[in-house]
């Protein structure tokens, strides 16, 4: 016996359901990234193809006295812009006709869209971390080594699994960034993303005492600066656990790079493991504003694949978005802090 429901009404219901999924997907995606919230935001390119351009920061001595009658020497576009290629990312799931028949699909699709959207958020932070990590150890004119040596270590690559993160590393980081004239966020602080095992060493294992400033009871005055959307502000407020050495400490398990044993990487010596935290000021990096990332959910009904699904055995659902993260003035406006763990 055929299904008595009309194709028109079924398509209408699917369209409404997909709109609902779109809103859920946007919320799930934007709940996850933390490191990305510290990046300068840029809209998805409109007229530059797949390339996003962000300006380099002009050095303080770039403004100079002019000589009457002598044209000023200019620099090429490539010398005062960073650029990155926007890439599409996505995932999809397939559902059998049996699942559709027993009406399990709405719950399954809803759950899967949530998981895919959260995975998208993790992917965004991964891309942001890669963008700043790639520039952190590069030899760049006018910059300094971004590595901060914790607990008495003397060089990048010498940190071991037993090297704990001490409070003095944050004070050293603050001094180093100030020395490079790195700007502060609107709250007058630098912001850092740390792994929970790092913050345990920082605040518990090393007895922070009076140096640790908990968020004030009137936390509203500490949140409006965090991000230019209410959603971003609340997210970072939840992740913030304190302020130390003029650095707002934000806790996250995904953004700080995890380094496992094997070969020396990101400041951690071979055959050891640990984490790399990132502390920065505005202008260290830029990324596509998630509100312009063209996040979209997709639902394709049974039989929509045509001749590749001749007897209507499969329907699909998925998500897609566009993103790029670009390391900017990483050498002068960001510091990476590798450490082991005691917990």
Spatial distance between the Cα atoms of 285 and 334, rounded to a whole number of angstroms: 9
- Reported as a single tens digit per residue, the pLDDT across 289-341 is 888 888 888 888 887 877 888 887 888 888 999 999 998 888 888 998 888 87
Question: Which CATH code, of 2.60.40, 3.30.2400, 3.40.1350, 3.30.70, is assigned to 8-59+77-131+287-327?
Answer: 3.30.2400
Q: Cα separations (Å) of 237 from 38, 156, 192, 227? A: 13, 32, 13, 10
Please write the tens of the pLDDT for every residue from 59-94: 544 677 888 988 887 766 556 778 888 999 999 988
Kindly list the domain boundaries of the chain, sorted by start residue.
8-59+77-131+287-327, 159-284
Read off φ and ψ for residue 118, nearest 5 degrees: -65, -40
40 burial level (CB within 10 Å; 0-12, 13-18, 19+): middle
Q: Which residue has the tokens 């639902």?
A: 299
Query: Structure pTM?
Result: 0.76
């Amino acid at each position: 016996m055929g299904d008595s429901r009309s194709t028109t009404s079924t398509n209408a219901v699917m369209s409404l359901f997909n709109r609902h999924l779109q809103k859920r997907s946007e919320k799930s995606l934007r709940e996850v990234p933390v490191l990305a919230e510290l990046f300068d935001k840029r809209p998805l390119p409109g007229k530059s193809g797949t390339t996003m351009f962000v300006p380099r920061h002009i050095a303080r001595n770039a403004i100079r006295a002019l000589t009457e009658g002598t044209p000023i020497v200019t620099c090429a576009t490539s010398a005062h812009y960073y650029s990155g290629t926007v890439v599409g990312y996505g995932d999809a799931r397939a559902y059998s006709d049996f699942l559709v028949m027993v009406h399990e699909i709405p719950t399954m699709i809803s759950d899967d869209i949530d998981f895919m959207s959260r995975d998208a958020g993790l992917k965004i932070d991964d891309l942001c971390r890669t963008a700043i990590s790639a520039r952190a150890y590069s030899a760049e004119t006018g910059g300094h080594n971004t590595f901060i040596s914790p607990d008495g270590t003397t060089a990048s690559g010498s940190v071991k699994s037993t090297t704990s993160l001490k409070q003095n590393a944050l004070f050293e980081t603050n001094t180093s960034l100030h020395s490079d004239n790195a700007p502060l966020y609107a709250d007058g602080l630098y912001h850092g993303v740390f792994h929970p095992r790092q913050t345990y060493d920082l605040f518990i294992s090393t007895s922070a005492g009076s140096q640790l400033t908990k968020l004030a009871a009137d936390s509203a005055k500490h949140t409006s600066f965090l991000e230019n959307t209410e959603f971003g502000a609340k997210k970072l407020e939840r992740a913030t656990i304190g302020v130390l050495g003029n650095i707002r400490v934000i806790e996250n398990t995904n953004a700080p790079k995890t380094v496992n044993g094997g070969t020396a990487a990101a400041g951690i010596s071979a055959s050891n493991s640990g984490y790399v935290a990132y502390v920065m000021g505005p202008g260290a990096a830029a990324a596509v504003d998630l509100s312009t990332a063209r996040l979209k959910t997709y639902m394709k009904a049974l039989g929509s694949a045509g001749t590749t699904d001749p007897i209507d055995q499969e329907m699909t659902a998925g998500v897609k978005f566009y993103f790029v993260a670009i390391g900017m003035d990483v050498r002068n406006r960001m510091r990476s802090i590798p450490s082991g763990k005691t917990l």
